[in-house]
Amino acid sequence: MIDPLPELSTEQSDPRYSQIDRLPTERIARLMNQADAAVPAAVAVVIPAISAAIDAIATRMGAGGRLLYVGAGTSGRLAVLDASECPPTFGTDPELVQGVIAGGPDALTRSVEGAEDDGEAGAAAMAGLEVGALDSVVGVSASGHAPFVLGALSEATRRGALTVGLSCNDGAPLSAAAEHAIEVVVGPEVVTGSTRLKAGTAQKLVLNMISTISMVRLGRTYGNKMIEMSAMNNKLAGRALRMVMDITGADHDTAEKALASAGGHAKTAVVMIRHGLDAEGARALLESHGERLSDTLSG
In this prediction the pTM is: 0.93
The dihedral formed by the CA atoms of 193, 197, 198 and 204, expressed in degrees to the nearest 10: 130
CB atoms within 10 A of CB 73: 25
Coil, helix or strand for 163?
strand
**Does the pLDDT of residue 1 top 60, yes or no?**
no
Amino acid making up residue 166: L
What pLDDT does 288 receive? 95
What pLDDT does 7 receive? 82
Query: What confidence tens digit (pLDDT) does each residue in 62-100 have?
Result: 999 999 999 999 999 999 999 999 998 999 999 999 999
Backbone phi and psi for residue 69, each to the nearest 5 degrees, phi listed first: -100, 140
Residues 214, 57 contacting (CB under 8 angstroms)? yes
The dihedral formed by the CA atoms of 98, 102, 107 and 112, expressed in degrees to the nearest 10: -170
Amino acid making up residue 289: H
Over residues 27-54, mean pLDDT: 98
Confidence category of residue 5, pLDDT binned at 50, 70, 90: low
Active site residues: 85, 116
H runs (alpha helix) in 85-190:
86-90, 119-128, 147-158, 173-177
What pLDDT does 114 receive? 84
Query: H-helix or E-strand containing 27?
Result: helix 25-37
Coil, helix or strand for 225?
strand
Amino acid making up residue 55: D
Residue 56 CA to residue 33 CA, distance in Å, equals 34
Over residues 12-37, mean pLDDT: 95
Name 99's bridge partners: 69
DSSP string, 166-217: EESSTT-HHHHHSSEEEE----SBSSTT-TTTHHHHHHHHHHHHHHHHHHHH
Query: What confidence tens digit (pLDDT) does each residue in 232-291 have?
Result: 788 988 999 999 999 999 999 999 999 999 999 999 999 999 999 999 999 999 999 989
Query: What confidence tens digit (pLDDT) does each residue in 205-227 have?
Result: 999 999 999 999 999 999 999 99
Confidence category of residue 4, pLDDT binned at 50, 70, 90: low
